[in-house]
Structure 1
Amino acid sequence: MRTTPPLVALLAATALVLTACSTGGSSAKQAGGGTLTVLTPSSTLLLDPASSQNLATTSLSFLDRRLTTWDVKQGQDAKVVPDLATTTGTASDDGKTWTYTLKSGLKFSDGSPITSESIKYGIERSFSDQLQGGLSYHKTLLQGGDGYKGPFDGKQLASIATPDSSTIVFHLNKAFGDWPWIASMPAFSPVKESNGNPAAYVKAPITSGPYKVASIKDGTSVTLVRNKYWSKKTDSVRTAQADTVVFQESQNQTTTVQNLVNDTGSYKTAFGAQYLGAADLATVNGNAAAKARLSTSQAGPIQYLAINTQRGSLKQLKVRQALEYAVDKKAYLVASGGSNAGTYASTLITPGIAGRQDYDLYEAPETGDVAKAKSLLASAGVSGLKLVLLTQNDSASLAQAQAVQQGLKRAGITVTLKTEDVDSFYKDVAVSNPTFDLSLSSWQPDFPSANANISPLFDSSQIGNGNFNVSQYKNSSIDEAIAAAQAEVDQTKAQAQWAAIDKRIMADAPIVPLVYAKQSFLHGSGVGNFFIPSFPAYPDYMTLTLTK
Structure 2
Amino acid sequence: MKRKSLVLPAVAGLLMSALTACGGTDGSGSDGDALVLGSTDGIEATKEAPAPLDPDLAYDFASWSVLHNTFQTLMRLPRSGTEPIPDAAEKCGFQDRQSEQYRCTLRSGLKFSNGHALTSEDVKFSLERILRINNPNGPVSLLSNVDKVETPSDREVVIHLASPDATFPSKLTTPAAAILDSEVYEPDRLHKGFEMVGSGPYQAKTEVRDNRLTKVNFTKNPHYKGDVEPKADTVEMRFYKTSAELERALVKGDVDVVHRGFSPDQIDRLNRGKVKGVRLFEASGQGIRYLGFNTADRSVKNKAIRQAMAHLVDRQALVRDVYKRTGVPLYSLIPSNVTTHTNSFHNEYGDPDPAAARRVLRQAGIHTPVKLTMTYTTDHYGPETAQEFKELKRQLNDSGLFSIKIKGVRWAEFRPKLIKREYPVYGMGWLPDFPDPDNYIAPFLTKDNFLNSPYRNSVIQDELIPKTRQEAQRALASKDFQSIQNAVADDVPYLPLWQGNTYVAARENITGAEYAYDSSTTLQLWELGRGAGG
Please, what TM-score do these two structures have when normalized by structure 1?
0.76
Structure 1: which amino acid aligns with 2:490? Answer: A
Per the alignment, do residues 209 and 402 of structure 1 end up closer, same or farther by CA in structure 2, a change over 3 Å counting?
closer
| Counterpart Cα distance in 2 of 1:315 and 1:49 | 35
Q: In structure 2, which of residues 342, 358, 370 is the aligned counterpart of residue 358 of structure 1?
A: 342
Preserved contact between residue 7 and residue 521 of structure 2 (Cα < 8 Å): yes
Render the CA deviation track for 1:87-141: whole Å, top value 9, x for unaligned: 4531438333221112345444466654222322343454676999652136633
Counterparts of 2:219 and 2:299 in 1: how far apart (Å)?
60
Cα gap change, 1:107 to 1:537, in 2 (>3 Å): closer
Deviation at 1:319, TM superposition (A): 5.4
Q: What amino acid does structure 1 have at the position aligned with 2:352?
A: G
Residue 346 (str. 1) matches residue 309 (str. 2): no
Q: Match of 1:505, as an amino acid?
A: V
Asked if 1:392 is matched to 2:376, the reply is: yes
Match of 2:430 among 430, 443, 454: 443
Once residues 478 and 52 of structure 2 are traced to their aligned partners in structure 1, the CA distance between those partners, rounded to angstroms, is 33
Across the aligned residues of Structure 1 and Structure 2, the Cα RMSD in angstroms comes to 4.0
* Equivalent in the alignment of 1:261: 251
- The CA distance in 1 between the partners of 2:60 and 2:298, in whole Å, is 40
Change (3 A) 1:427 1:129: closer
Equivalent AA in structure 1 for residue 323 of structure 2? G
Match of 1:39 in 2: 38
Provide, for residues 413-434 of structure 1, a one-character-per-residue CA deviation record: whole Å limited to 9, x for no partner: 12221425235544554445x6
Aligned to 1:242: 232
Does residue 226 (structure 1) correspond to residue 220 (structure 2)? The answer is yes
Q: Write out aligned runs for 1:195-206 (5 A).
A: 195-196=184-185, 205=197
Q: What are the residue-to-residue correspondences of 1:477-496 with 2, within 5 Å?
A: 477-485=459-467, 487-488=469-470, 490-492=472-474, 493-494=476-477, 496=479
The one-letter amino acid of 2:219's match is V
State the 1:22 CA deviation. Answer: 1.3
Whether the 8 Å CA contact 1:178–1:486 is kept in 2: the answer is no
Q: Distance in 1 between matches of 2:297 and 2:181?
A: 51
For 1:513, the equivalent position in structure 2 comes to 496
Letter in 2 for 1:121: F
- Counterpart amino acid of residue 166 in structure 1: R
The residue aligned with 1:59 is 66
Give, in whole Å, the separation in 2 of the partners of 1:216 and 1:512: 38
User: Is the 8 Å Cα contact of residues 485 and 497 (structure 1) preserved in structure 2?
Assistant: yes
Amino acid at match of 1:97: Q
Shift in CA distance, 367/357, structure 1 to aligned 2, threshold 3 Å: closer
Match for 1:457: what amino acid? Answer: F
Identity of aligned residues (%): 20
**Cα distance in 2 between the residues matched to 1:431 and 1:502:** 26
- Is 1:162 the counterpart of 2:151? The answer is yes
The Cα of 1:164 is off from its aligned counterpart by: 0.9
CA-CA distance at 1:202 after TM superposition? 6.3
8 Å CA contact 2:285–2:500 kept in 1: the answer is: yes
Q: SS of 1:38's equivalent?
A: strand
Q: Secondary structure at the match of 1:66?
A: coil
**What is the rounded CA distance, in whole Å, between the counterparts of 1:22 and 1:81 in structure 2?**
28
The equivalent of 1:22 in structure 2 is 18
The answer on 1:369 being equivalent to 2:353 is: yes
Rounded Cα–Cα distance in structure 2 between residues aligned with 1:191 and 1:314: 42
Residues 283/491 of structure 1: CA separation in 2 closer, same or farther (3 Å cut): same
CA distance in 1, matches of 2:129, 2:219: 26
Structure 2: tracts of 5 or more residues without a match: 22-31, 45-50
Alpha-carbon separation, structure 2, partners of 1:504 and 1:57: 31
Identify the match of residue 323 of structure 1 among 309, 312, 315: 309
SS in 2 for 1:242: coil
- 1:279-298 alignment, distance < 5 Å: 279-281=265-267, 283-285=269-271, 287-289=273-275, 293-298=279-284
Structure 1 residues 203, 439: CA separation in 2 closer, same or farther (over 3 Å shift)? Answer: closer
Aligned to 1:209: 200
- C-alpha separation between the residues in 2 aligned to 1:189 and 1:311? 36
Q: Unaligned 5+ residue runs, structure 1?
A: 8-13, 26-32, 144-158
Q: Aligned pair 1:498/2:481, yes or no?
A: yes
> How far does the alpha carbon of each residue in 1:222-275 deviate from its partner, in whole angstroms, 9 at most, with x for none?
4333334435xx41xx34111222333566543332222233xx64xx223432
Deviations 1:24-77 (A, max 9, x none): 69xxxxxxx95322334546796654544376983334332210112253xx6x
